[in-house]
């Protein structure tokens, strides 16, 4: 029995990747009751493995550490996988929306870095993006900005995913359409 538990613990340790977390926002919230106000704290946390997985969570509690712990647990449960190009940037430009929040994320050349503000930067760092240009339009609420960012990242598709969905090969998807250009060039030279 003990041997089986040891194997399970070892397997859990090997399979569970180490997650990094970032506290994005902490708010003091209050609940009005008959005797006055009861104060508590709300935490917003982003968690990621910095290799293409990211999630966010929120937690409320009477004490700050407990709120952060709850938010971190929720973030680990709600993680998504995002395909990265060369492990450093996005495959294509994307836009995400949530409520009045709208974010635009664009691919970037190596050495650009993360050009994004506030909560979006935390998501990109936890995701493992190294080169990205992002702009937040509309709501500046950190909750809406993170949800809009996650919404956009769920729309990210790698060439392999697109090829699989279309029933083609990756080479067919990435290949430029050269035949029509050559044909039109030959037609122009024939006319001259």
More confident residue, 169 or 179: 169
pLDDT at 1 over 50: yes
How many Å separate Cα 97 from the centre of its chain? Answer: 13
Percent of the chain past pLDDT 70, that is, above it, reads 82
- Which structural domain, as residue segments, surrounds residue 144? 2-155
Judge if 170 and 123 occupy the same domain: no
Judge if 45 and 124 occupy the same domain: yes
Average pLDDT, the chain: 85
Work out whether strand 101-107 and strand 114-115 pair parallel, antiparallel, or are unpaired.
unpaired
**pLDDT tens per residue across span 28-83:** 999 999 999 999 999 999 999 988 899 999 999 999 999 999 999 999 999 999 98
pLDDT at 186: 52
Residues contacting 142, CB < 8 A, separation 6+: 24, 25, 44, 118, 119
Total domains in the chain come to 2
Q: In 3D, which of 154, 137, 167 has the Cα closest to residue 53? A: 154
CA distances for 57 relative to 68, 73, 121, 129, 136, angstroms: 9, 7, 16, 20, 20
Token reading at 143: 């909750």
pLDDT at 165: 87
Judge if 170 and 94 occupy the same domain: no
Residue 191 within a domain: no
Q: Tell me the β-bridge partners of 114.
A: 132
Judge if 15 and 103 occupy the same domain: yes
Judge if 122 and 176 occupy the same domain: no
Residue 114 within a domain: yes
Token reading at 19: 């997650």
Which pTM value belongs to this model? 0.78
pLDDT at 93 over 80: yes
The CATH number for 46's domain is: 3.30.160.20
Judge if 101 and 176 occupy the same domain: no
Judge if 165 and 143 occupy the same domain: no
């Amino acid at each position: 029995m003990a041997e089986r538990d040891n194997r399970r613990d070892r397997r859990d340790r090997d399979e569970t990747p180490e997650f990094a977390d970032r506290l994005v926002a902490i708010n003091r919230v209050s609940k009005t009751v008959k005797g006055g106000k009861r104060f508590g704290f709300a935490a917003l946390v982003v968690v990621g493995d910095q290799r293409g997985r990211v999630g966010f969570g929120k937690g409320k509690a009477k004490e700050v550490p407990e709120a952060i712990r709850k938010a971190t647990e929720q973030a680990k449960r709600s993680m998504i996988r995002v395909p990265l190009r060369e492990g450093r940037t996005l495959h294509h430009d994307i836009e995400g929306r949530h409520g009045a929040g709208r974010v635009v994320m664009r691919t970037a050349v190596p050495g650009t870095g993360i050009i994004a503000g506030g909560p979006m930067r935390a998501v990109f760092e936890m995701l493992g993006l190294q080169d990205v240009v992002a702009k937040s339009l509309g709501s500046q609420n950190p909750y809406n900005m993170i949800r809009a960012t996650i919404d956009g990242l769920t729309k990210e598709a790698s060439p392999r995913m697109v090829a699989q969905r279309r029933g083609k090969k990756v080479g067919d998807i990435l290949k430029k359409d050269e035949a029509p250009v050559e044909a039109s060039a030959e037609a122009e030279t024939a006319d001259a």
